[in-house]
Amino acid sequence: MSDPQVAFRRGLDWDQDVLKGAQGTAYVPYTLRIDPDVVGSESIIAGIRVVERGETVPGSATTPQTQSNALEQDSTEGQSTASPAGLGIGSSVTEPPTYAFEDFHFVTLSDTQMQDDAYQISRALQVPGGQYDVYVALKDLQLVDTPDELMQNLSTEVRQAVFKFAVNIPDLSNDLSTSSVMVFERLERISTALTPAQLREDPYAIGSMRFVVRNSENFSAADELKFGFFIYNMQTDTNGKPDVTVEYNFHRQGEAGEEFFNATSPQEFNEETLRPNFNAELGHQLLAGQDVPLSVFPVGSYRMEIAVTDNASGNLLTRDMHFTVGE
């Protein structure tokens, strides 16, 4: 997640989560946070192009300039650079280039959620683990005849703005691992299977649950810290049951350093606690997480350390999440 104020300064910000996808890929739901000043119409087309880090985009007129406040970030955030020039494909290209991922979306901004004075659009992409550059092109839909015109000729006459983000996607296909730690406002049950078209616009609908994500690490003492994540590649018994322990330790950060604050009760996932028909070998997903009331947390900055232990194999991994508690 990113500071919403950064979104306003850049014009567009990129938030992402990473989950295990099919056939060794990663499923990456992302949220575009768009400053209204960047777009001049309520109806836009957004083009997404993903290339391996450092790969040249054919026909790019200039290299986007890195903004002074843009930093390379981890797998839940990206580095943003904005270009006043195009990144289109020139006439000298004789064969269509291939990319790690490419897609476009028609968006009516009045139908999207506004948060921190920015439009929010959530979609998803799927790529193998690796380091990538993501190009996002935005344009008033009235000025684009076809999606191909946006994606194949992103010249100054066609596109309105192009942004570049550097993203790192972990390989979740082997060894004990987890998805991103997703912070959410609530979990919603999905009673009816969604169509492919609905899933395309609802990337946080995962299985029978929808994560209504929260794109901020800033909380008040009246809030609850609600988070969840999936655990992958744990060892299982003959019935497909894992034996996993998850511990949550909270550390308060200050000028003098960091000190332990408290811990919540560990979670145990095993044959005794999981539902009888749970079987990881059949693709059932192991979801961990908690709802933590913040009323006992003094105002300040915190680091939550998550320790996941696969008791069957003895493997251990840790994940960190930072958040703040205000008045």
Convert the chain into a string of H (helix), E (strand) and C (coil). CCCHHHHHHHCEEEEECCEECCCCEEEEEEEEEECHHHCCCCEEEEEEEEEECCCCCCCCCCCCEECCCCCCCCCCECEEEEECCCCCCCCCCCCCCCCCEEEEEEEEHHHCEEECCEEEEEEEEEEECEEEEEEEEEEEHHHCCCHHHHHHCCCCCCCCEEEEEEEEECCCCCCCEECCCEEEEEEEECCCCCCHHHHHCCCCEECCEEEEECCCCEEECCCEEEEEEEEECCCECCCCCECEEEEEEEEEEECCEEEEEEEEEEEEECCCCCCCCCCHHHCCCEEEEEEEECCCCCCEEEEEEEEEEECCCCEEEEEEEEEEEEC
Q: Are 70 and 14 in contact (CB under 8 A)?
A: no
Q: Are 125 and 30 in contact (CB under 8 A)?
A: yes
Six-digit token string for 199: 């899933």
Is the pTM higher than 0.85? no
What is the distance between the alpha carbons of residues 142 and 139, in angstroms, rounded to a whole number? Answer: 8
Which one, of 55, 81, 85, lies nearest residue 69 by Cα?
81
Which one, of 280, 270, 275, lies nearest residue 309 by Cα?
270
What is the distance between the alpha carbons of residues 324 and 304, in angstroms, rounded to a whole number? Answer: 11
In the chain the domains, ranked by start, together with CATH numbers, are 4-169 (2.60.40.10), 177-326 (2.60.40.2550)
Q: What is the pLDDT of residue 217?
A: 93
Q: Are 21 and 232 in contact (CB under 8 A)?
A: no
Burial class (CB in 10 A: 0-12, 13-18, 19+), 188: middle
Q: What is the pLDDT of residue 78?
A: 44
Burial class (CB in 10 A: 0-12, 13-18, 19+), 130: middle
Q: What is the pLDDT of residue 145?
A: 58
pLDDT along the chain (327 residues), means of 10: 40 93 95 84 88 73 32 37 41 68 90 82 96 90 62 50 91 95 96 92 94 93 97 97 98 95 98 97 96 97 98 98 96
Diameter of the chain measured on Cα atoms:
64
Q: What is the pLDDT of residue 103?
A: 94
Q: What is the pLDDT of residue 92?
A: 52
